[in-house]
Structure 1
Amino acid sequence: MKQWVQKYSGLLRNLRITYWLYNMFKLGKLKKNKQLYKQLGVQKAVWQSLSHADIKKSSNDIPWMDGQGITKEAIQNHASFNQFNAIIQEQLLNWNEKGYLIIPQFFADKVDAINTEIEQLKEENKVDFNFTGKKIMDAWQYSETINAIFRDEKLLQIFEFIFQKKPIPFQTINFNYGSEQKPHSDSIHMTTEPLGYLSAVWIALEDI
């Protein structure tokens, strides 16, 4: 059902009623959010669309490395800093200036396996491009290889260091030769509470 909606709904996905109908199919899983909605002061049904403005009891907490008093010295002196190699350490020290990390060759030995796996999943009709004709959504659900990378311990350690919270991986997108999207903000579509805890990883599976 999920793959069918992703592939054929197209512009209908922009209509609120389409979103609601899809959530009604997932009502069993969404019911667990009722208690959380109560804690956060959200006065909506769990199947309705939600924005951060609907959260009446929000937190002012921010990721550790985004704090105003977090200097390079504070980062270096953190107990977990030495678990990273020199390249990652240098990138972390520049986080406050850049807001992103570039880590060469992090998954270099796994690129071929990922590409082979995607082609195999397509041949077996386990995954397909969505309505854009360019994106394959959540291949990690169908592949042990991709799921292992999705939950790579060394990768998650980096996020945990930045946020000082345990990261929760929740989505993968594979595409051919770039998605060709216009500049955009993911946080508009996937807002966190507290704010600022959404992050993304781009893994180059082709020469750049």
Structure 2
Amino acid sequence: MDHLRYSGLAFEAQRTAFFKIVAADPLLAETLSRVRALDLPDWLVVSGALYNSVWNHLTGKPPGYGIKDIDLFYFDDTDLSYEAEDAVIQRAAKHFEGLTLPVEVRNQARVHLWYETRFGNAYPTLSSSAEALSYFASKTHAVGVRFDAAGQFDLVAPFGLDDIFSFRITPNRALDNRRTHKAKGTRAKVNWPEITVVPW
């Protein structure tokens, strides 16, 4: 199996392949359908559930292999309290009952309020869910999918898709996320030894 068959192709070709893989993955298809029904403001399914599913498809592994959860972002700056976010998390937990993987829901409008305490570095105040992807530790992981108003897939990929299709984890130095980049790269290589981790 040629796992690098989409590596180096034009972005449009990679986007078409990406959407085809996502749509055919039963876990992602069910998750995205349920997320759409939840109707959160400015939502995005992001990161591991997406690029790991691509790697599974291209290496012949079963759907869901190596995926520990599904990350769901939304953006609501009308109430930045912990209680408001927690209410959404509790509502989502009921909504996603029965899925094979847990769904981690986070309001991106609040990240700057807790990030420094947890990770030791300041974090910018964001203006959208999509903006959060620009600060991920690895460019490879910065990918999100949602439905547009017409019910079609909408892709957010600030650094493109070639890292994903090239099985290459590339650092993003927008923040000092050296440890996260290394840890995620090391963990990914256990499940997908085809991966190359570019040093920080």
Name the structure with the higher helix share: 1
TM-score (norm 2): 0.27
